[in-house]
A = this chain, B = another copy of it.
Amino acid sequence: MSDKPTTIKEIAKILKISVSTVSRALNDHSSIGLTTKMRVKKLASELNYEPNQKAIQFLHGKSFIIGVILPELSESFFSTAISGIEDIAYKRNYTVLLAQSHDDAEREKLLVEKMKTQRVDGLLVSVSKTTSTYEHFEIFKRLNIPVVFFDRIPPVKDIHYVASNLETGTYEAVNFLLKKGHRTIGMINGPNTLVASHERKEGYIKAMLSNRLKFDPTLIINSDLTEAGTIEVMDNMLNHRRKPTAIVTFNDYVALFAIRYTRSLNLNGIDFVSYANLPIINYMDYTPIASVEQFPYKQGKKAADILIDLINKPKNESGADQAFFNVVVESVLVINDPK
């Protein structure tokens, strides 16, 4: 039946002491007598007193809220990452304000606006596929609100970010296939505009060269990552004068399309390696024999940690030595259990 929440004032009035005393008593300030403290605390809990967080946030300009903008929660990479973010936030007493851009640059802009008006203490962003300008993040710099990018990072200087280095994982993947005896290895890569595509390619090349093998660029084919696109690429692969005996695919979806397609052609014997996006891959019948793991949970945790560190950093120290956190999580190859 209680209507309005209890305030510190009411407690003060009832106890006939000043608000400041009540405040200090509740916060265990040293200058308050033990008996007064007890009386205050007792009454406070009787009245179900809850400090008005809005007032406190307002008072010292902190919200203990970090904003997170990411493309799609339904992609398991992101839902796992947010899990890590949320866990760290929880531990460090922050809460997470969540928004998804649905890979729409316009919506992303609006979300940034909203985060700004909510005055989050910090922002975590994985940019949308379609985002091509990055000025909307500049506002946060002016407002002195730290921004940390993760996974999908914008190609600009002077930002904090956490991302995985796909080169290492790809290197391992190709190496693994070579060790298995494969000599002709195809790669279904993504659009060249993605940093990630570039890293995959580099890893591939390095693995070939370090094994004293010639790099054949025609064995890396770009795709638009759709099912149709994948089939088209597969046709190219299968008709290649050097038909690959193993294929590295851009992600698990592509792997699934490709595997299904080869099976429909009754082709076995091609080994697939993919990048781990889908946990469900473990439940499937025909899976890639290995996956490059990108540790989304770890990335999320790390990004959140950095952000909160940044938030709590002793103000603008001289401004000069503004260091930027650039954390790279190495990707590694995981051999899948054979079923």
Contact = CB atoms under 8 A, between A and B. Distances in A.
A214 interface: no
Interface string A42-62: 000000101111110110010
Please tell me the size bucket of the interface on A. 35 or more
A21 interface: no
A3 B98 CA distance: 27
A97 B99 contact: no
B100 A97 contact: no
Contact of A96 (B48, B55, B97): B97
Contacts of A52: 58, 119
A73 B84 CA distance: 11
Given A95-B114, A96-B98, A99-B90, A54 B61 contact: yes
A305 to B, nearest CB: 18
A158 to B, nearest CB: 15
Interface in A113-164: 114, 116-119, 139, 142-144
Contacts of A79: 73-74, 76, 79
B65 A74 contact: no
A143 B51 CA distance: 12
Interface in A77-103: 79-80, 82-83, 86, 90, 95-100
A337 interface: no
Interface stretch (A174-182, A278-286, A320-328): A278-286
Quickly give the copy total for this chain. Answer: 2
Contact of A54 (B5, B57, B80, B86): B57
A256 interface: yes
A253 interface: yes
A186 B280 CA distance: 25
B74 A116 contact: no
B58 A55 contact: yes
A50 B90 contact: no
Nearest to A74: B79
A83 B107 CA distance: 14
Nearest to A280: B280
B63 A73 contact: no
A41 interface: no
A243 interface: no
A106 to B, nearest CB: 13
Nearest to A115: B95
A2 interface: yes
A298 interface: no
A3 B315 CA distance: 10
A283 B79 CA distance: 19
Give the interface centre of A54, A64, A144, A316 by most chain B CB atoms within 10 Å: A54
